Amino acid sequence: MDQDETAHMDNSAKLNTEHTSSLVKGSPILTAAEPSNEKTTDVLVTDETVWVTGWRLHFLSLSVAMCMFLVNIEVSIVGTSLISITNDLHGFRQVGWVVTAYLITYTSMIIIWAKLSDIFGRKEATMATMIIFVVFSGGCAASHTMNELIINRAFQGIGAAGCVSMALTIAYEMVPKEQYPAIAAEIAAATALGSLVGPLIGGGVSERSTWRWVFLLNVPAGVITIILLFICVPKNFPHQGQASYVAPTFKEKLSRQSLSRLDVSGAFLLLGATLLLVTVLLEASNEFAWGSGTAISLLVVSAILWVLFLVNERIVTGEEWRAEPVFPWRFLVNRPWMGTLLVSLLSGVPYNIIVIDIPQRFQAVYGASPFGAGVRLIPFNFLIALSSVLINIFAARTRIPPVYILFVGSIIQLVGLALFSTLSTSLTVPSVIYGWEVLAGCGIGIVMGMLLVIPPHVVEARDLAISSGALLQFRVFGGALGLAIASSVMNSHLTSSLSGSIGAEKLASVLQSTAAIKGFPPNVQLQILEAFASGYNLQMKIMTGFAGLQVLAVGLIWRKDQISVVGKKE
Domains in the chain: how many in total?
2
Q: What is the pLDDT of residue 514?
A: 67
Residue 217 sits in the same domain as residue 188:
yes
Tens digit of each residue's pLDDT (9 = 90 or more) over 454-486? 887 788 877 777 787 788 778 877 877 787 788
Instruction: Count CB atoms within 10 A of the CB of residue 447.
Output: 31
Q: CA-to-CA distance for 539 and 559, rounded, in angstroms? A: 34
- Could you tell me if residue 303 is inside a domain? yes
**156 pLDDT more than 90:** yes
- What does pTM read for this prediction? 0.70
Residue 430 sits in the same domain as residue 472:
yes
Residue 125 sits in the same domain as residue 168:
yes
Mean pLDDT of 38-67: 69
Mean pLDDT of 213-242: 84
Q: What are the C-alpha distances in Å from 437 to residues 31, 191, 448, 451?
A: 49, 17, 16, 21
- Could you tell me if residue 318 is inside a domain? yes
Lowest mean pLDDT among 9-23, 42-56, 162-176, 401-415: 9-23
- Could you tell me if residue 510 is inside a domain? yes
- Could you tell me if residue 68 is inside a domain? yes
Q: What is the pLDDT of residue 487?
A: 78
What is the DSSP track for 29-53? ---PPPP-SS--TTEEEETTEEEE-
Share of the chain above pLDDT 70, in %: 82
**34 pLDDT more than 60:** no
Q: Highest mean pLDDT range out of 151-155, 166-170, 455-459?
A: 151-155
Quote helix, strand, coil % in the chain, to nearest 5: 75, 0, 20
- Could you tell me if residue 28 is inside a domain? no
Residue 238 sits in the same domain as residue 104:
yes
The letter for the amino acid at 440 is A
Q: What is the pLDDT of residue 145?
A: 85
Mean pLDDT of 174-186: 77
Residue 361 sits in the same domain as residue 427:
yes
- Could you tell me if residue 104 is inside a domain? yes
Residue 467 sits in the same domain as residue 372:
yes
Task: Tell me which of 323, 340, 359 is where a domain ends.
Answer: 323
Q: Are 169 and 464 in contact (CB under 8 A)?
A: yes
Residue 233 sits in the same domain as residue 87:
yes
Residue 433 sits in the same domain as residue 347:
yes
Q: Are 173 and 46 in contact (CB under 8 A)?
A: no
Q: Note the helical H segments in 33-179.
A: 54-79, 82-89, 95-120, 122-141, 146-174
- Could you tell me if residue 96 is inside a domain? yes
Backbone torsion region of residue 423, taken as left when φ is above 0, otherwise alpha when ψ lies between -120 and 50, otherwise beta? beta
Picking from 395, 380, 532, the residue whose alpha carbon sits closest to that of residue 452 is 395
Residue 424 sits in the same domain as residue 334:
yes
- Using the 8-state DSSP alphabet, how is residue 327 labeled? S
**570 pLDDT more than 50:** no
Lowest mean pLDDT among 505-514, 515-524, 533-542: 505-514
Crossing angle, helix 218-232 and helix 122-141, to 10 degrees? 170
Q: What is the pLDDT of residue 552?
A: 92
Residue 210 sits in the same domain as residue 96:
yes
Bond before 238 cis per omega within 30 degrees: yes
Residue 95 sits in the same domain as residue 202:
yes
Q: What is the pLDDT of residue 41?
A: 44
Residue 498 sits in the same domain as residue 443:
yes
The CATH number assigned to the domain holding 108 equals 1.20.1250.20
Picking from 111, 205, 84, 214, the residue whose alpha carbon sits closest to that of residue 153 is 214
Lowest mean pLDDT among 29-33, 140-144, 186-190, 289-293: 29-33
Q: Are 103 and 164 in contact (CB under 8 A)?
A: no
Q: What are the C-alpha distances in Å from 215 to residues 101, 170, 221?
A: 15, 26, 11
Q: Are 165 and 114 in contact (CB under 8 A)?
A: yes
The letter for the amino acid at 147 is N
Which range marks the domain in which residue 268 is found? 263-323
Tens digit of each residue's pLDDT (9 = 90 or more) over 395-423? 878 888 888 999 999 999 999 999 988 88
Task: Tell me which of 301, 323, 345 is where a domain ends.
Answer: 323
At 303, is the secondary structure helix, strand, or coil?
helix
- Could you tell me if residue 374 is inside a domain? yes
CA atoms within 13 A on the CB side of 45: 24
